[in-house]
């Protein structure tokens, strides 16, 4: 007999009080009926994550990556990309080779390169020593080595060669994202026209909005094909900004991310991010110069933050799972509680704290 999970089941069509029935590692049905005092949400999908629990994705170390993924899985993230920061080509190549087996195993959903093809003016916590123009030779070699494991690359569209790089990525089925950019509205719109479909942590690491030069933020918000990443930690974005994007772009184009680094779930102190020293104080990670350096967020905390910003649980479930799954091409397999999709789910108590997590029909 298939397992029955009782509670307030958050489906794409709304909340169903009743039970979710499994069919092997898939969702069989969702049926109304008596319900436990629990929320049941789709497993979270984090498409921008540098590490956590004292472990990092940024060094290309497979053992570290496995531990970082396990840490976030305990917080409800059943699907995640391993995000690297700007690095020398050799590290990019080694990381893809080291993480490809973890992708094949299902520990990771793929690799995300946040850099090195980013703007010096908007580099944030990226190491400026490694920033450079997009290289088709580098990308061609990495795409070949990755054999499908490279899911996303963030590029500043004003850099020389950016449009060709975006087109190359898209031709190979890899998501091109726009971020860490000082580009103009026109340059970012050209990147979208070339095939870019994600805005990397919207507002952060971007030229601010001006009514006479709208810049990247307005271009990305106003592009129907673009999913906008949002770091919902109350530090990167004001809750009003978070709610504004969800209302204006819609939840189908708004994805919650952690942008977490090693220090997520760890005590305050000093940590490394791509060769730069990061100080964490009262959960906030910063470089010595004051730039925010990733976050100490987990997806369950991002969900609580978004609910606190006044968004509905149905909208938040879409932003934490359904939309990011679609952004990286996985919506046909996971990201929502509907029959036929993979049985990835998070059970939460009345305070929206994780009770237990299921991945592929198995409680972890």
Whether the upstream peptide bond of residue 142 has omega within 30° of 0, thus cis, is no
Give the Cα separation of 218 and 199 in Å (integer).
11
Give the Cα separation of 303 and 309 in Å (integer).
10
- β partners of residue 284: 281
The pLDDT, as a whole number, for residue 1 is 53
Which DSSP symbol is given to 214? -
Give the Cα separation of 134 and 153 in Å (integer).
11
> Nearest-CA neighbor of 4 among 345, 354, 364?
345
Tokens of 213: 């030069």
The pLDDT, as a whole number, for residue 23 is 97
Beta-strand pair 150-155/110-114: parallel
> Residue-wise pLDDT tens for the chain (364 aa)?
579 999 999 999 999 999 999 999 999 999 999 999 999 999 999 999 999 999 999 999 999 999 999 999 999 999 999 999 999 999 999 999 999 999 999 999 999 999 999 999 999 999 999 999 999 999 999 999 999 999 999 999 999 999 999 999 999 999 999 999 999 999 999 999 999 999 999 999 999 999 999 999 999 999 999 999 999 999 999 999 999 999 999 999 999 999 999 999 999 999 988 888 999 999 899 998 888 999 999 999 999 999 999 999 999 999 999 999 999 999 999 999 999 999 999 999 999 999 999 999 999 9
Catalytic residue positions, numbered: 259
Q: Taking a C-beta distance cutoff of 8 angstroms, is the pair 315, 246 a contact?
A: yes
Binding residues are 114, 125, 180, 201, 204-205, 212, 236, 292-294
Binding residues for substrate are 125, 204-205, 212, 236, 292-294
Alpha-carbon distances of 177 from 60, 79, 111, 196, 261, rounded to whole Å: 21, 19, 13, 5, 20
The pLDDT, as a whole number, for residue 274 is 86
Q: Taking a C-beta distance cutoff of 8 angstroms, is the pair 352, 232 a contact?
A: no
Q: Taking a C-beta distance cutoff of 8 angstroms, is the pair 5, 42 a contact?
A: no
Q: Taking a C-beta distance cutoff of 8 angstroms, is the pair 345, 297 a contact?
A: no
Contacts (Cβ under 8 Å, ≥6 apart) of 238: none
Q: Taking a C-beta distance cutoff of 8 angstroms, is the pair 259, 253 a contact?
A: no
Binding residues for Zn(2+) are 114, 180, 201
The pLDDT, as a whole number, for residue 2 is 77
Torsion of CA 137, 138, 139, 140, to 10 degrees: 50
> Nearest-CA neighbor of 300 among 342, 348, 263, 230?
348
Please state whether the predicted TM-score (pTM) of the whole model is above 0.75.
yes
Beta-strand pair 175-178/198-199: parallel
Which DSSP symbol is given to 364? -
State whether the Cα torsion 350-230-176-284 is positive or negative. Answer: negative
């Amino acid at each position: 007999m298939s397992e029955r999970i009782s509670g307030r089941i958050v489906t794409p069509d709304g909340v169903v009080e009743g039970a979710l029935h499994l069919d092997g590692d898939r969702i069989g049905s969702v049926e109304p009926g008596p319900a436990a005092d629990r929320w049941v949400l789709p497993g979270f999908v984090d498409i921008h994550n540098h590490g956590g629990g004292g472990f990092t994705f940024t060094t290309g170390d497979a053992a570290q990556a496995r531990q970082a993924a396990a840490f976030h899985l305990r917080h409800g993230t059943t699907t995640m990309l391993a995000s690297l920061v700007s690095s020398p080509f050799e590290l990019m190549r080694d990381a893809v080779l080291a993480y490809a087996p973890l992708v094949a195993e299902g520990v990771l959903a793929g690799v995300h390169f946040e850099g090195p093809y980013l703007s010096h003016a908007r580099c944030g916590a990226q190491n400026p020593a490694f920033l450079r123009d997009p290289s088709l030779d580098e990308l061609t070699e990495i795409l070949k080595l990755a054999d499908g494991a490279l899911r996303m690359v963030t590029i500043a569209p004003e850099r020389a060669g950016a449009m060709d790089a975006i087109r190359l990525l898209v031709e190979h089925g890899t998501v091109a994202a726009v971020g860490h950019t000082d580009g103009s509205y026109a340059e970012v719109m050209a990147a979208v026209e070339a095939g870019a479909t994600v805005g990397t942590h919207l507002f952060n690491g971007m030229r601010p909005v001006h009514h006479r030069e709208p810049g990247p933020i307005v271009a990305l918000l106003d592009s129907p094909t673009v999913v906008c990443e949002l770091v919902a930690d109350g530090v990167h974005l004001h809750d009003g900004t978070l709610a504004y994007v969800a209302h204006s772009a819609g939840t189908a184009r708004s994805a919650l991310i952690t942008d977490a680094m090693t220090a997520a779930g760890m005590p305050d102190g000093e940590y490394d991010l791509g060769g730069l020293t990061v100080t964490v104080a009262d959960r906030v990670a910063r470089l010595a110069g004051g730039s925010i350096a990733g976050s100490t967020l987990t997806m369950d905390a991002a969900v609580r933050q978004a609910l606190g910003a006044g968004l509905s649980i149905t909208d938040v479930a879409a932003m934490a799972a359904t939309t990011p799954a679609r952004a990286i091409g996985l919506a046909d397999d996971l990201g929502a509680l509907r029959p036929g999709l993979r049985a990835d789910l998070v059970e939460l108590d009345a305070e929206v704290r994780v009770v237990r997590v299921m991945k592929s029909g198995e409680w972890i």
